């Protein structure tokens, strides 16, 4: 049904896109080394993604900001401001998560990964037109949205995350869901065509896959996992199962009439929002 070419578009749900600074403070002593399912591969895959976030999300912000003037609708302008604010907060909180990884002894890998991500984003800015940059952003936002959906719709994934970091990933997943259509809608405003949207999506996916595989492997190597093939195979299988399970959602982006809210999962936001609110650091809580 997902792949039907007929338009079954429902109006996008009214989701409020509101940035929230969380003020997470990760203690390198209490965060377990393998905080996701006690599995080195799953943990380091998300660690590797986290290394790409501070600069990657700044790239998203810049590409959206570049075109925001084409939007004259007041609500959509508010949504764009919400998107920019949320991504800026994600960069900040993931910087503190990445600093925790450094303190856990992954200093070299974490710094190198962040530097490579910065280099790639800067090259993207130099080599591609603003339109192509926004197409990359819209495509990569689809990937973050489907990973967020997997996390929110399968409680067993969240349960496998250690409490010390669970709220970071839950909060990020909620906000990625809230703003999942902002970059896409803006891209559609400047280019209703199919070609660049899909080319940027596929090449951006490949770039992200190469980056995350390389840095997952570098983390694993530092732990000496290359000498433990059974551990590696078991974790690799779990990761592959997770990634294959989101494949139909991933491929949905290739459908010509695709829109992020064709899959209305907004009820998941409400389901977890209260829980996340309890994790806001006192200095960032709004007075009631």
Provide the binding-site residues for Fe ion, judged by CB under 5 A. Answer: 57, 90, 141, 176
Question: CB 209 → Fe ion: shortest distance, Å?
Answer: 18
Nearer to Fe ion, 197 or 235 (CB): 197
**Residue nearer to Fe ion on the CB measure, 62 or 176:** 176
User: In whole angstroms, how close is the CB of 7 to Fe ion at the nearest point?
Assistant: 25
H/E/C letters for each residue in the chain?
A: CCCCCCCCCCCCCCCCCCCCCCCCCCCCCCCCCCCECCCHHHHHHHHHHHHHHHHHHHHHHHHHHHHHHHCCCHHHHHHHHHHHHHHHHHHHHHHHHHHHHHHHHHHHHHHHHHHHHHHHHHHHHHHCCHHHHHHHHHHHHHHHHHHHHHHHHCHHHHHHECHHHHHHHHHHHHHHHHCCCHHHHHHHHHCCCCHHHHHHHHHHHHHHHHHHHHHHHHHHHHCCHHHCHHHHHHHHHHHHHHHHHCHHHHHHCCCCCCCHHHCCCCHHHHHHHHHHHCCCCHHHCCCC
Nearer to Fe ion, 55 or 141 (CB): 141
Q: What is the nearest approach in angstroms of Fe ion to the Cβ of residue 119? A: 20
Of residues 40 and 124, the one with the C-beta less far from Fe ion: 124
Q: Please, what is the minimum distance in Å from the beta carbon of residue 56 to Fe ion?
A: 8
Nearer to Fe ion, 90 or 166 (CB): 90
Q: By Cβ distance, which residue is nearest to Fe ion? A: 90
Q: How far is the CB of 266 from Fe ion (least distance, A)?
A: 15
């Amino acid at each position: 049904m997902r792949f039907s070419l007929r338009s079954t578009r429902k109006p996008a749900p009214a989701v409020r896109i509101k940035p929230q600074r969380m003020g997470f403070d990760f203690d390198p002593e209490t965060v377990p080394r393998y905080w996701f399912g006690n599995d080195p591969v799953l943990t380091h895959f998300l660690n590797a993604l986290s290394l790409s976030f501070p600069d990657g999300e700044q790239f998203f912000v810049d590409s959206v900001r570049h075109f925001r003037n084409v939007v004259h609708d007041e609500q959509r302008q508010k949504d764009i401001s919400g998107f920019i604010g949320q991504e800026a907060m994600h960069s900040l909180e993931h910087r503190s998560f990445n600093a925790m990884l450094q303190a856990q002894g992954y200093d070299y890998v974490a710094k190198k990964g962040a530097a490579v991500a910065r280099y790639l984003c800067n090259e993207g800015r130099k080599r591609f037109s603003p339109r192509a940059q926004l197409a990359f952003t819209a495509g990569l936002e689809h990937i973050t949205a489907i990973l967020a959906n997997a996390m929110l719709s399968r409680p067993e994934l969240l349960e496998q995350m250690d409490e010390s970091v669970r709220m970071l990933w839950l909060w990020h997943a909620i906000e990625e869901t809230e703003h999942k259509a902002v970059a896409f809608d803006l891209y559609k405003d400047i280019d209703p065509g199919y070609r660049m949207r899909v080319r940027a999506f596929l090449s951006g996916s490949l770039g992200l896959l190469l980056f995350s595989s390389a840095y997952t492997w570098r983390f694993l190597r530092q732990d000496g996992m290359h000498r433990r093939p059974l551990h590696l195979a078991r974790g690799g299988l779990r990761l592959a199962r997770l990634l294959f399970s989101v494949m139909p959602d991933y491929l949905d982006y290739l459908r010509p009439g695709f829109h992020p809210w064709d899959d209305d999962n907004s009820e998941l936001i409400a389901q977890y929002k209260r829980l996340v609110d309890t994790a806001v650091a006192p200095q960032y809580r709004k007075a009631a």
